[in-house]
Amino acid sequence: MSDNISPWVRRYAPLIPGGDVLDLACGNGRHTRHLASLGHSVVAVDRDPEALALAAGSDITTSNIDLEQPGAAWPFGPARFAGIVVTNYLHRPLTAAMIASLAPHGVLIYETFADGNAQFGKPSNPDFLLKPGELLDWARDHGLRVVAFEDGVVDAPKTAMVQRIFAVKPDFPRVAALLPPF
């Protein structure tokens, strides 16, 4: 397994129930391959075809889609994925449709840059930085139950201000006893 896997994803990915998983803005597939190694069929989406070529593998379907093009529609139906993983990516117009694509018992693992990151470098544009508590607002607004949330500075892979959440559909079993150690 790659050491590039986010510790947040590494910790919570084993709790994704059986079924397809979406790795949104997957880049070169560091999380895609990890999710596939856990036994999931993974749909890896990115707008960069060269990065997607690196993400390809067994039980991985790659989709070259630019969801930020004007008029682009969310290509997945409701209740489609057992899990959705997003790291280092934020495009707010996708939020409602993305969360609607979670299947019953589905989970959302999301980690990206937050307000205050400008002090550490890029991204610094507020359009690409989560506002304080924004991931918590998403969960509340879309009926998800928050299992874990963090908001603060991380040192690796580079110093950055991030928010991260592990949230589940309301009917997901209580997981406190199942949480893997950090």
Reading the chain (182 residues) residue by residue, the pLDDT tens digits are 446 899 999 999 999 999 999 999 999 999 999 999 999 999 999 999 999 999 998 899 999 999 999 888 999 999 999 999 999 999 999 999 999 999 999 999 999 999 999 999 999 999 999 999 999 999 999 999 999 999 999 998 889 999 999 999 988 776 555 666 66
Q: Output the CA torsion sign for 36, 41, 44, 50.
A: positive
What lies within 8 Å, CB to CB, of 155 at 6+ separation is none
In the block, residue with structure tokens 């990516």: 89
- Find out whether the peptide bond into 157 is cis, omega within 30 degrees of 0: yes
pTM: 0.93
Domains of the chain with bracketed CATH:
7-178 (3.40.50.150)
Phi-psi map region of 17: left, alpha, beta (phi>0 left; psi -120 to 50 alpha)? beta
